A and B are shown apart, each in its own frame.
Chain A
Amino acid sequence: MDFAFSEEQEMLRRSARDFLAKECSSKVVRKLMEGPDAYDPTLWRKIADLGWTALGIPEEYGGVGTFLDLVVVFEEAGRALLPGPFFATMGLAVPVLIEAGSEAQKKEVLGAIAQGSARATLAFTEPSGRWDAGAVTLTATPNAGGWQLNGVKLFVPDAEAADYIVVAARTRGKGEEGISLFLVKGRLKGMTVTSLKTLDMTRRWSEVRFDGVKLEADSLLGPADKAWPHLKRALDWATAALCAEMIGGTQKVLETSTEYAKARHQFGKPIGIYQAVSHKLADMLVLSESGRSATYYAAWAVDADAPDRSLAASMAKAYVSDAYRKVAGDGIQVHGGIGFTWEHDMHLYFKRAKSSEVTLGDATYHRELVAQSLDL
């Protein structure tokens, strides 16, 4: 057993941290979050040139490295609050394509993503906001040798910047039976993408509406009616990736708050000397470290395709959802008034924690999945 990243992965981490400190500073994050779609083609090109958009993609489609390598980058991306479609593309769309795509689809889309010439996302949730199979109600019906899509996808991450949208649709039945996936390229007739005003400005959500959108037969991604097992496996990847981002943010909040507690003086002493403050920081450390352990294990389980990969992902998401929100909230408290200002970065993390909390299922949802695994 060896529960640590390799020397090469630690090097990747250092280079990612240095790059993001320079290219994705708080100033850049703020500029992007106030822009129309938080997507910066120049930054994306640089990221692609570093090879990040190829990580975890199989070599035959132009990829390089493993999912664990990608996890290292996600952790750093979360630490820097990297805005734009990196998570939507590499965390959500790529695993679905790997799990369910045909040779032709993988060659085209994974190849383009790996090269840095395309971005993608997954349209799963609907107005219910749920992440279970039963929540998929957008319909796809056979039409003139192809398909026709009708329905609404809501809270779709970074859809505005996506060249490809993978859509989870219902082709019959209910629950896990009758779910099919479709690959939608560009903006088709009858399709409207509307950006939502979101609490977390660094991660865009959109409404994607399909009103009789016609698709060719070859847009079906994976088996008709029986795509759920593939999608479920892709969601394990997505969940571990999101947890890595979240733990990167958690760590950053902990470090910033600790430094502040050392520097800020009140009553003639650094506030970190007072146990009301230092014990809060100690608790933040426990949450951060435990969330990290749960996340790294989930990442390994996905990478190694361990039998407990879904359970490990649920455990990590349940723990980290609560941990990031708590740590970010306490981070504001440790900073006092300055932590509540727009100028300070603490609110950006607090907001990212909240949006990540509900993405891919909140703690309550994942605890219920864990309870089911205990035969409760």
Chain B
Amino acid sequence: MDFELSETEKAFRDEVRAWLKANKPPANGADEGQKGFIESRRAWQKKLYDAGYVGITWPKEYGGRGAGFMEQLIVNDEMILAQAPDPINVIGLGMGGPVVISHGTEEQKKRYLAPLLSAEEIWCQGFSEPNAGSDLSGLQTRAEDKGDHYLVNGQKVWTTLAHVAKWCMLVTRERKEANPRDGLTYLIVDMQSPGIEVRPLVQITGDAEFNEIFFKDVKVPKSQILGEAGNGWAVAMTTLLHERGTLGMALATRAQITAAELAEHARNLGRGSDPLVRQKVAQYTIEARALQLNGYRAVTAVKRSGIPGPEGSILKLMWSELNQRMTETAVDMAGPAGQVGDGDGWVYQFLRSRANTIEAGSSEVLRNILAERVLGLPRSR
């Protein structure tokens, strides 16, 4: 057991720290708007890419850094310390790239990974449908075999970044099988294809962060299959493992930031003398730390086995519920004033956090995963 950084790791940390100090963009202005936000985050990712700070663990030949998980952790930690914004291509970096690396052909890796890293091409994830949420195998978007291409018809929903994305990870039904997990085909679909319509969905925050996508007779060449035709379930599961594992580490670091911001909020409001506030803020700080330490243990396990295990589900489950409690306490601490205007920025976070226990695997699904795959309890479905 050892938490010290090696000399090489320390040198890398110092390099990242110095670079972030010199290159970090100014905080986003409130009047930046959706479009400005997208463009500034895209430019920020390009800058990170040019410096070699995205795709840390991805192979060098596809534009990655070819480094290890430690370097990834160091970059994550330094990004937090610098309060640097996230890169734009969160879905692509967390899921699209890793799944192409796991299941893609050499040609696909060469084609997709570098532009994903540089943010030249943004990715979105077409999994959920109006009638297929937690039960992904119930999806109805059809891919009809037309020889050299598929004809895709259907609808996806809750698709983050669809309005600016170049590629969509689309899970479709090619054949009806007795087991609904069979007969699915995983496609990488060009969002500029004729027949695709993207409609923004307004959320409880008042923003339109995600979308509905409608597919009407969309032609998708067979070269766009990821993995094997009919074997899309396995590819989708790899995607979700990465979603909960890799993303889990990012969430662990985000929880630490939120806890620190909450403590600052309490100090600013002069609520530090309230024993209940002290207890709550301390408890959240402890949970955020435990979450991060769980992540460190998972990373050590990944270093030994190579792939993230279902333990990543613990991170996502803990973070989402912790984030709801933290943001609610932040609003509560200010009394009625906490609900007026943007409440020092907490009102948005408070509302947004309600999606945390639904998106990327609802808390109910994650508890099923822990019960069945970690504890080995019988399947409930």
Measured CB to CB, the residues of A under 8 A from B are 1-6, 68, 254, 258, 261-262, 269-270, 272-275, 278-279, 281-283, 285-286, 289-294, 296-297, 299-301, 303-304, 306, 315, 318-319, 364, 367-368, 370-371, 374-376
5 contacts between A and B (CB under 8 A): A1-B4, A3-B3, A296-B293, A303-B1, A315-B289
Q: Given the complex, which residues of A lie within 8 Å of B5, measured CB to CB?
A: 1
Q: Which of B255-303 contact A (CB under 8 A)?
A: 263, 266-267, 272, 275, 277-279, 281-283, 285-287, 289-291, 293-294, 296-297, 299-301
Q: Say yes or no: B377 contacts A68, CB within 8 Å.
A: no
Interface centre among A2, A315, A319, A375 (most CB of B within 10 A): A2
Q: Say yes or no: B286 contacts A367, CB within 8 Å.
A: yes
Tell me whether B375 is interfacial, beta carbon within 8 Å.
yes
Q: Say yes or no: A374 contacts B318, CB within 8 Å.
A: no
Q: Say yes or no: A273 contacts B379, CB within 8 Å.
A: yes
Tell me whether B8 is interfacial, beta carbon within 8 Å.
no
Task: Scan B349-368; emit 1 where CB is below 8 A from any A CB, else 0.
Answer: 00000000000000010111
Which secondary structure dominates chain B's binding surface?
A: helix
The complex places the Cα of A262 from the Cα of B380 at a distance, in Å, of 12
The complex places the Cα of A10 from the Cα of B376 at a distance, in Å, of 23
Instruction: Given A272-B377, A281-B371, decide whether A294 and B279 contact each other with a Cβ distance below 8 A.
Output: no
Instruction: Given A278-B371, A368-B278, A376-B278, decide whether A272 and B378 contact each other with a Cβ distance below 8 A.
Output: yes
Q: Given the complex, which residues of A lie within 8 Å of B334, measured CB to CB?
A: none
The complex places the Cα of A279 from the Cα of B291 at a distance, in Å, of 19
Nearest-neighbour CB distance to chain B for A318, whole angstroms, equals 5
Among B70, B291, B300, B314, contact of A285 (Cβ-Cβ < 8 Å): B314
Which secondary structure dominates chain A's binding surface?
A: helix
The complex places the Cα of A278 from the Cα of B371 at a distance, in Å, of 6
Among B278, B367, B379, contact of A279 (Cβ-Cβ < 8 Å): B367
Tell me whether B202 is interfacial, beta carbon within 8 Å.
no
Nearest-neighbour CB distance to chain A for B61, whole angstroms, equals 27
Q: Given the complex, which residues of B lie within 8 Å of A258, measured CB to CB?
A: 375-377
Q: Which residue of A lies closest to B303 (CB)?
A: A2
Measured CB to CB, the residues of B under 8 A from A are 1-5, 70, 73, 263, 266-267, 272, 275, 277-279, 281-283, 285-287, 289-291, 293-294, 296-297, 299-301, 311, 314, 317-318, 364, 366-368, 370-372, 374-380
Instruction: Given A1-B2, A1-B300, decide whether A367 and B283 contact each other with a Cβ distance below 8 A.
Output: yes
Q: Say yes or no: A262 contacts B378, CB within 8 Å.
A: yes
In addition to A279-B364, A370-B286, A376-B272, 5 A-B residue pairs with Cβ atoms within 8 Å of each other are A1-B5, A2-B2, A262-B377, A290-B290, A318-B286
Interface centre among A6, A299, A375 (most CB of B within 10 A): A375
Q: Which residue of A lies closest to B369 (CB)?
A: A282
Among B278, B297, B377, contact of A367 (Cβ-Cβ < 8 Å): B278
The complex places the Cα of A232 from the Cα of B168 at a distance, in Å, of 57
Q: Say yes or no: B294 contacts A289, CB within 8 Å.
A: yes
Nearest-neighbour CB distance to chain A for B191, whole angstroms, equals 37
Q: Which residue of A lies closest to B291 (CB)?
A: A290
Q: Say yes or no: B375 contacts A2, CB within 8 Å.
A: no
The complex places the Cα of A281 from the Cα of B290 at a distance, in Å, of 19
Q: Which residue of A lies closest to B374 (CB)?
A: A285
Q: Say yes or no: B380 contacts A281, CB within 8 Å.
A: no
Q: Say yes or no: A278 contacts B297, CB within 8 Å.
A: no
Q: Say yes or no: A374 contacts B293, CB within 8 Å.
A: no
Q: Given the complex, which residues of A lie within 8 Å of B277, measured CB to CB?
A: 376
The complex places the Cα of A126 from the Cα of B278 at a distance, in Å, of 26
Among B2, B282, B372, contact of A374 (Cβ-Cβ < 8 Å): B282
Q: Say yes or no: B290 contacts A294, CB within 8 Å.
A: yes
Q: Say yes or no: B278 contacts A371, CB within 8 Å.
A: yes
Nearest-neighbour CB distance to chain B for A250, whole angstroms, equals 13
Q: Say yes or no: B370 contacts A285, CB within 8 Å.
A: yes
Q: Say yes or no: B294 contacts A304, CB within 8 Å.
A: no
Q: Given the complex, which residues of B lie within 8 Å of A297, measured CB to CB?
A: 3, 293
Q: Say yes or no: A375 contacts B293, CB within 8 Å.
A: no
Q: Given the complex, which residues of B lie within 8 Å of A375, measured CB to CB?
A: 263, 267, 272
Interface centre among B290, B318, B364, B378 (most CB of A within 10 A): B290
The complex places the Cα of A4 from the Cα of B301 at a distance, in Å, of 8
Nearest-neighbour CB distance to chain B for A87, whole angstroms, equals 21
Q: Given the complex, which residues of B lie within 8 Å of A285, measured CB to CB?
A: 314, 370, 374-375
The complex places the Cα of A292 from the Cα of B290 at a distance, in Å, of 9
Q: Which residue of A lies closest to B370 (CB)?
A: A282
Q: Which residue of B lies closest to A320 (CB)?
A: B290
Among A4, A273, A292, A300, contact of B377 (Cβ-Cβ < 8 Å): A273
The complex places the Cα of A262 from the Cα of B372 at a distance, in Å, of 11
Instruction: Given A1-B5, A6-B1, A286-B317, decide whether A278 and B377 contact each other with a Cβ distance below 8 A.
Output: yes
Q: Say yes or no: B1 contacts A376, CB within 8 Å.
A: no
Nearest-neighbour CB distance to chain B for A251, whole angstroms, equals 12
Q: Say yes or no: A3 contacts B300, CB within 8 Å.
A: yes
Q: Given the complex, which residues of A lie within 8 Å of B301, measured CB to CB?
A: 4
Q: Say yes or no: B367 contacts A282, CB within 8 Å.
A: yes
The complex places the Cα of A289 from the Cα of B376 at a distance, in Å, of 16
Q: Which residue of A lies closest to B289 (CB)?
A: A315
Q: Say yes or no: B263 contacts A374, CB within 8 Å.
A: yes
Q: Given the complex, which residues of A lie within 8 Å of B282, measured CB to CB?
A: 318, 367-368, 370-371, 374, 376
Nearest-neighbour CB distance to chain B for A241, whole angstroms, equals 15
Interface centre among B266, B272, B281, B378 (most CB of A within 10 A): B378
Interface centre among B275, B311, B371 (most CB of A within 10 A): B371
Q: Which residue of A lies closest to B6 (CB)?
A: A1
Q: Say yes or no: A278 contacts B263, CB within 8 Å.
A: no
Q: Given the complex, which residues of B lie within 8 Å of A3, measured CB to CB?
A: 1, 3, 293, 296-297, 299-300
Q: Say yes or no: B377 contacts A304, CB within 8 Å.
A: no
Nearest-neighbour CB distance to chain B for A215, whole angstroms, equals 40
Q: Say yes or no: B300 contacts A376, CB within 8 Å.
A: no
Q: Say yes or no: B1 contacts A273, CB within 8 Å.
A: no
The complex places the Cα of A187 from the Cα of B73 at a distance, in Å, of 55
Q: Say yes or no: A282 contacts B375, CB within 8 Å.
A: yes
Among B272, B294, B371, contact of A282 (Cβ-Cβ < 8 Å): B371
Q: Which residue of A lies closest to B379 (CB)?
A: A273
Interface centre among B364, B367, B368 (most CB of A within 10 A): B367
